[in-house]
Amino acid sequence: MTRYDLALIGFGGVNRALAELIVERGHDLTAELGFGLRVVAITDLRAGTLVRLDGIDLAPLLAAAELNFSGMAGGSPEPRNEWVIRDVPADIIAEATFTNPADGEPAVSHVRWALESGKHVCTTNKGPAALHGRALRELATRNGVRFEFEGAVMSGTPVLRTARRMFGGLTVSRVEGVMNGTSNYILGRLEKGMDLAAAVAEAQALGYAEADPTADVEGYDVQLKLMILANEVFGASLTRADIRCVGISGITGQDVRDAAGKGLRWKLVGSAARRPDGTVEAWVAPVALPDGHPLAGVSGLMNAVAFHTDLLGTVAVSGPGAGRTETAYALLSDIISIHERCGAKAAAMEGASRV
């Protein structure tokens, strides 16, 4: 039975939820997927670093009210991210740290160190794929490993994998998506009578919006996700400067309610289309969509992407765009993809060599 040793970089909500999946469903997953998972290292900004090459017992960590690795066997008080990524013998690095959207750090460095060390990496961070996607994919190819980032666009909803694997033989002319649940929630509250400031404050109180909601309200989060989606679907090399970006801060509650009275729903939409000359244009802007539009009915924290194709017309993929368990599933789906593309192939080659 194949087993993958994991190093978890960051032990906040997402990697903690991945650890919960391993503890609660590990045996079932092994039976279903044909491989096992063992965590051999964890780093965390507050808890420090924990390394156990024979496998970390995750259950006590998940039950603890507060973690401090320094008092444990194999533990130290500092988050030794680079050392763990480069030197600890793990097969896959699961990267889920807080990252600056302007430069993608520290996640970009984490991914680069992993790939340079010949380790597969999966990340939920947008920065590495959006800002350095092509260079990191090339680095992964040179080192014979995988760089996976399904959770960077729509959390656990497999929009990237759907586009890669299911659209063979189709020509996609345009993609458009509602890819930020926070802004979508806020627009829904405006439709119910709130003003923007009150709707933002409510979203913050519920944990949907950060203390600084700029990335959600001004569309920058969608801009990064659209970069990833457009570059994957169209093979483009868009940068942030290539994507016009307008957020929802200029939309009033009256605008939203007036549109609703006309059968229109305001949504913050990220769109990308291939021009006749083969180049790609992309933009983020609030749009009043008619009720029949495939994105008009996307409500609350849900996300959706519509692909406009030549043979099937419009194909929409919708699902949760946030949530710790949902995003942890994205990491699991990345690990499954790594196994399908690399682990199963290696096992088959090893079996053939024994014949």
Residue type, 86: R
Q: How far apart are CA 230 and CA 247, in angstroms?
A: 19
- Decide the pairing of beta strands 172-178 and 264-274: antiparallel
291 closest CA partner among 318, 321, 267, 317: 267
92 closest CA partner among 35, 158, 155: 35
Instruction: Classify the C-alpha dihedral 231-237-240-246 as positive or negative.
Output: negative
User: What are the phi and psi torsion angles at 302 (to 5°)?
Assistant: -70, 155
125 closest CA partner among 145, 144, 101, 152: 152
250-259 core/surface letters (b: 16 or more CB in 10 A; e: else): ebebebbeeb
Beta-carbon contacts of residue 17 (< 8 Å; ≥ 6 apart): 324, 325, 327, 328
- What DSSP letter does each residue of 195-209 carry, written as one string? -HHHHHHHHHHTTSS
Q: How far apart are CA 328 and CA 266, in angstroms?
A: 30
Q: Which of 225, 262, 267, 345 is catalytic?
A: 225
- Contact in structure between 23 and 95 (CB atoms under 8 Å): no
Question: For the chain, what percentages of helix, strand and coil (3-state, to nearest 5) are there?
Answer: 45, 25, 30
Q: How far apart are CA 103 and CA 236, in angstroms?
A: 20
Is residue 225 among the annotated active site residues? yes
For residue 175, what is the enclosing H or E element? Answer: strand 172-178
Active site residues per annotation: 225
